[in-house]
Homo-oligomer: A and B are copies of this chain.
Amino acid sequence: MAQFVHPATADITLAGVLSALADPIRLQIVRGLLQESGCLSCTAASPCPTIAKSTLSNHFRVLREAGLIQTSKKGVEHQNAVRSADLEARFPGLLMAILAHSVTDGLPVTSE
């Protein structure tokens, strides 16, 4: 499990970013990471304790391969951080534009 595979900044694709963030769980993970000074273990960054470890691991892999987060091993844990600078360089304003509205996700303003 040496080091993880992270795409270079130039290799981050728009479809990959959107696809990764299209999942509410992953969206919440990224939001949580940004709120917590950017470094959390996988379980600490989980938005819901009922999610299976394997599922969570998969979500982190998707985020990692999309270039949204950077994962480094630290002891028995993994430290995850949002690649804010890389994303800003690759798609200026995109992440902010998306996360600016993520609070309302799944919380309809009106009926339902």
Contacts and interface: CB of A to CB of B under 8 A. Distances in A.
A111 B9 CA distance: 11
B94 A101 contact: yes
Contacts of A27: 14-15, 18
A102 interface: yes
Number of copies: 2
Interface string A60-97: 00000000000000000000000000000001011011
Contacts of A21: 18
Interface of A: 8, 10-11, 13-15, 18-19, 21-24, 27, 91, 93-94, 96-98, 100-102, 104-106, 108-112
30 contacts: A8-B110, A10-B109, A10-B110, A10-B111, A11-B110, A11-B111, A11-B112, A13-B104, A13-B105, A13-B108, A14-B27, A14-B98, A14-B102, A14-B105, A15-B22, A15-B24, A15-B27, A15-B105, A18-B22, A18-B98, A19-B22, A19-B23, A93-B93, A93-B97, A93-B100, A94-B97, A94-B98, A94-B101, A97-B98, A98-B98
